[in-house]
Amino acid sequence: MIAGLYEILNAGTALVALVDTRISPDVRNRNDAAMPAVAFEISSREYTEHATGSSAPTFGTASINCYALSRVGAEAVADAVIDAINGKSSYPTTDCIIEGRVNDRSATEFFERGGDSELAYVSTVNITLTGLS
């Protein structure tokens, strides 16, 4: 699901306009101080199977962290992430993702990057993805 979610986020034109190529799975490179940026992780993945043995949908949850040097900037990136998830008319064939749904959104006051004194704001979007096994 990582490749599929990465593809969905990179297809979001408003998101790419804000963060350029700074979309990465798991964590950002510690030396990459450029903002705004997005880092995401698949926090769980559940496989199901029909009694007949045929494949059934796979469900995964993901957290998408939106970083910026201001609260307004972080919220703008989060808005663009939500638009990328909700605005898909068709999902990528990568990982066979067939649907994405935004569950909730939260924000933190700041995130200090590695010992830097410069603050970064974070808005987190939690989603559920449905795919085919």
The string of pLDDT tens digits covering residues 34-80 is 889 999 998 877 766 666 665 666 778 899 999 998 999 999 999 99
Q: Which two tokens stand for residue 12?
A: 């979001």
pLDDT at 1: 75
CB 127 within 8 A of CB 64: yes
Nearest to 8 by CA among 38, 43, 48, 36: 38
pLDDT at 119: 77
Question: Where are the chain's structural domains?
Answer: 2-132
CB 12 within 8 A of CB 80: yes
Q: Does domain 2-132 have CATH number 3.30.70.1700?
A: yes
pTM (predicted TM-score)? 0.82
| CA atoms of 87 and 71, how far apart (whole Å) | 24
| CA atoms of 62 and 68, how far apart (whole Å) | 20
